[in-house]
Structure formats: C-alpha cells, structure tokens
Amino acid sequence: MTKTDNVVHDAEYYILYDQHGEKWEVEDRELDARLEALRKKYGTPPNIVHIMWDDMPFGDAGIPAINKIRGFETPNCNRIAEEGILFTRFYTEPACTPSRAAVITGRHPVRHGMHTVAFPIENGGLRGDEVTTAEVLSSAGYATAFYGKWHLGDLEESYPHNHGFDEALFTPYNQVMSLWNPQGEGANAVLGLVEENLKKDPYQIDDNFLPDGWILTIEGRKGETAREWGDTGINDYKAIDPECEKRTLEFIRKNARARTPFYVAYWPLMIGLIADPKKETVARSLLSEGFRKVDAFLGTVMEELKNLGIAENTLLVAHADNGPMTHNPPPGMGMAETIFRGGKSDYWEGGIRVAAFAWWPGMIPAGEIVGDMIHEVDLYTTFARLGGAMEQIPGDRVVDGLDQTALLINGDTHGRRDYNFVYTGPVLAATIKGRWKRVWVGDHPGLAGAAFYDLYLDHREQFPVLIPLLHTDLAFKRMRVRHEIWKKKYPDRPEKRGVPFTGLENPRPETERLAKPLVRDRSRLPFDPLEFIDFEPPWDDFDRDMPGG
C-alpha cells in the first residue's frame, strides 16, 4: 500500500528522507496495519470527502474566541476542531486557479502553467495529460464526483469529467460571474458589459471587443458529451451551490448503499458579489453570510456520514483555497488578515496560510491541534496512499505532494514536510524552511534587499532582519539551487491553449462563434485572427488580485 518508489518528489524531500527514512518506514508499517484492519471491518478503503471554499485565513473558523471578534459563528468548524484536527500551518497557493490546480494534481502550478487566475474567455486550462486525484483513485476502484467551482479553464480537455471524475457539475470560472448579468450592470457593479441594457455609445467602433458566449455552469459524465446547465443569469448563479450540495449528499448515499469507496470534492462558490438583502450574521458581510452556509453543510455531511454508518471509514478534509481578499475587494466583502500579514495573491503568510480541518472519527485523535507544516499538494499523495493507489501516481514528473498519512492518524509532530516554495504566478517569491522564511523578491537587489524572518518571533513578517539570520543565507541558497536543478531535469510546461467550450451537446450560437474569427473576411487581415489563442501573455499575472480569484 505504501510503495512510493515510482513517485518523484522535489529535491528537498530526499534531504529529509535521508535523515528520517528508516523511522518513517517503521511508522508506515504500523499505519498500514491500522488501515488494513479498517479495510477488513468495512470491506473497502476509506471514503474521502474534500470541501474547499474561498479566501479564508487561519483563525476565521474553528476558534470560538475569534468568531466573536469577527462577528460570525462557525459551529461546525469548531466541532471538527474539537473532534478532529485543527491545522495551524496549512499552506496553499496564493490564489484560486493556482490553488485548485495544485490540490488536484499534487503539483505546484508553475509546473503545468496553471499559475494565473482564469477569467472569460480564457482559451486555456489544465492540460489533459496532468493526472488528477480523481484519475488516481478511479484506477483503484473509487467512485468519483466533483461539484462546484472548478476554475481550471474552459477547454474541453480541462473539464473535470475528462480528468477522472465519474460525474461533475462545475463552473469553469469564478465568482465574478455573479455580476455579469443585467442585475450587475444595473447596480453599476459591472460597467458596460450588458450592452442590451445600455444606451448605444455613438463613438463605439469595435462591436466585438467585449467577451461573449461564456458559460456559467457545465455538467458532464465520464466518457459522455457535456452540456451547459442553466443559463448565465443571477438566479442560475444562486442555484449552483444548493444543487451541488444536493448532488454531493446523493452521491455519498448512493455509494454508501453500494459499498463502493468514493471520493467526492465539493468546492462551493460560497458567495455572490451581489449581496442578499437579508443578513443572518452580526458581521453582515459577503464572507460571513456565505460561509454560514458552508459551515452548515459541513455539519450536514458529518451527520449524514454518521447516519449511514460510514463515519469511521470516511476522511473529511475541509479548508480554504487561499488567504483573504484584502486587496481591492468589492464593498462589504468583510475579509481581514485576522492573524497573519497579507492576503490573496501575496507570498506573505496571510496569503497562503489558511483555515483547515480534518475529521475522521476513530482514526484521527480528537482535539488535535497540529503545528506541523502541511501543504494542499500533500492531499493528492495522502489520498492516494489511503486509497491504495500510490502506484497510479505518474513517475515521469515531479509530484510536490508528500504522504501525510502519519500526520493525520498519529497527530502533532508526525508531519513529513518542513519546507515550502512559494510562487506568485511563475515567480519564486519566497522559500520557507521550518521556522525560517526568506523572501527572494524585493525593492533592492542582492543581499541588501533580502528579507529574512523567524516566523515564531515575527509571525506577521513586519520586521525583516539580516545579521541575526545571516547564517541561513547559504542554506536557503543551497535549497533553491537544488530546487532549480531538479526543475531543469523536469522542466515546467505552459498552460494548454485552445478553443473554449467545445464538447457540449447544447452550445448557444454565441458560444459556437468562439471557435470562429469575429471578422467578415479573413483575407483582409495580414494575420490569423485566432493566433492569439496560442499566445501566453507574459504580463497576465496582474489578475491574481481580482475579486473572486
């Protein structure tokens, strides 16, 4: 079950394995015995439920005292923290598309080009030859389903049901789509998009400048043609999360009855950027009103698993995808740094250190507060280990995710990661090793501009020091060099580019036109009007700061 010879990790892992490998192998044999006993009891490997929401830093959920400060309650996250694990050092990528790409492939998104947030029309997405968690677990006999915010491109090969999921209902983009409708235009929340509602601008010459033909939601099944679900209106947007919650519960019940191991990922949209008039939380923010529903659903899932008699054989992992949107948020968003400095798109701890929990009655010790470092990419390898599917992980590429089964089951101090390479877009912005952090980007070149931090002494990264941490300089440089040399052996690849929204049985005419140049006579142009599709703009990383990223 624990064979990992085929998995290629980043170079830093082998430095740790050289020091601790023998101890880890003994621990792994003990873990195998526990997992085998569980498998004999239930007849299947453990089920996996993965719930991931947007933009929440560590502290906002699971800690009652901070609930009071922030003005909204998280009773079910608090319950998970009491009955399972509260992670204090769970790292993600800095923004939504990179984070989702990382967790589903077990690889930092710089490796496959998914490092920039997608907006309509993207003309790009997750490469078809990336191997996802769903593909790995499907090969081991799992039923798999995805519901919610996929946000990994608008290409047919990027759809989740073409990446191993048996069934999917998903959005290729993010929450900004809640504004791309007449209500958003009417509220001046989006300006000049819904032209049929607007007086004609007599000076507008180009009638094809703005995006058109985009799709809000797609549903599909493995091996079948997908279809657009609903339309692009505000009511269609509001219907997505309730429908995904319903399908998640139906999927769990169906496979529990069939005694089939399952992996279901529900990644809710959580918020729309047009607020509901009625407020149910003291904070009254978009965040608090949206997360109230996510927290309630976590409670529903836990009770359903107990009622079905499979809670002991089901791992529930729940976490945010990145830090809070504190840069350029829409009015009333209500997101805050809370504890750590920074937010979405930042390499500071506040952008990448998030609210995260795990619940597995009988396997995870109750009330476990974990200080070990874990990264979202580790879920890929850990889920594969639990599913007996490690040999399904490809061995021709670097898999950044480490197996953290020992941390889940044995608890605090049993982690196997003490490092993190923090990318913002394609740029290596910072490196973390244990308690120390070095920022590689800054206002001044060379060592004079280098920022070193001890994260215990300065958890908000406000006071960079040089002389007291100069002894870490060469160590960080060696670490980076190992990382870069390994990347030369396993080079990064660009995002896949192409025509969007193919492979649909019910495309609207304006969607079909996306595959055609918006010109009357191509012979009049001295270039191919579709050649932009294959061009990856080097300036495109600005949109990491956009709302809903």
165 occurs within a structural domain: yes
Q: Provide the 8-state DSSP code for 10.
A: P
Asked whether the beta carbons of 476 and 510 are under 8 A apart, the reply is: no
318 occurs within a structural domain: yes
Q: What's the rounded Cα separation, in Å, for the pair 388 and 381?
A: 10
- Tell whether 449 is covered by a domain: no
Rounded distance between C-alpha atoms, residue 163 and residue 130, angstroms: 8
Q: How far apart are alpha carbons 196 and 198 in whole angstroms?
A: 6
**Do the domain assignments include residue 404?**
yes
Q: Tell me: pLDDT of 136 over 80.
A: yes
**Range 259-282 average pLDDT:** 96
Separation CA 470–CA 459 (nearest Å):
19
Give the residue numbers spanning the domain of 147. 2-37+45-187+215-418
User: What confidence tens digit (pLDDT) does each residue in 197-222 have?
Assistant: 899 999 999 988 888 899 999 999 99
Would residue 464 count as lying in a domain? no
Instruction: For residue 188, give the DSSP letter.
Output: T
The amino acid occupying position 82 is E
- Look at residue 547 and tell me whether its pLDDT is greater than 60: no
Residue 361 lies in a domain: yes
DSSP code at position 158 = G
CA angle 372/378/381 to nearest 5° reads 135
Residue 518 per-residue DSSP state: S
Those residues whose C-beta lies under 8 Å from the C-beta of residue 2, and which sit 6 or more positions away, are: 28, 31, 32, 385, 390, 403
Q: What is the CATH number of the domain that holds 382?
A: 3.40.720.10
Alpha helices in 155-285 (DSSP H): 182-186, 234-258
Q: CB within 8 A of 66, min separation 6: which ones? A: 59, 60, 338
77, 143, 323, 375 from 318: Cα distances, Å: 9, 20, 15, 13
- Residue 436 identity: W
**CB 184 within 8 Å of CB 178:** yes
Characterize 139-173 residue by residue with b for buried, 16 or more Cβ atoms within 10 angstroms of its Cβ, and e for exposed. bbebbbbbbbbbbbbbbbbbbbbbbbbbbbbbbbb
Tokens of 234: 């505000």
State the pLDDT at residue 460.
Answer: 97
**Once rounded to an integer, what is the mean pLDDT over residues 284-302?**
98
- The pLDDT-based confidence of 4 (bands split at 50, 70, 90) is low
Helix (H) or strand (E) holding 126, with range, is: none
**Total count of domains within the chain:** 1
Q: What is the pLDDT of residues 362-411, one digit of tens each?
A: 999 999 999 999 999 999 999 999 999 999 999 999 999 999 999 999 99
Residue 208 lies in a domain: no
The C-alpha torsion from 465 through 471 and 475 to 476, rounded to 10°, is 10
What Rg, from alpha-carbon coordinates, does the chain have?
Answer: 23
Residue 121 preceded by cis peptide, ω within 30: yes
Count how many Cα atoms sit within 13 Å of the Cα of residue 302 in the half-sphere of its side chain. 23
Beta bridge partners of 354: 57
Q: What percent of the chain has pLDDT over 90?
A: 86
- No. of helices (H) and no. of strands (E), the chain: 13, 18
Kindly state the tokens that stand for 233: 């209106």
Specify the residue for token string 């529990």. Answer: 256
Least trusted range by pLDDT, from 68-82, 133-147, 305-319, 513-527: 513-527
Query: What is the pLDDT at residue 541?
Result: 53
Residue 537: inside a domain: no
Amino acid in the structure at residue 202: P
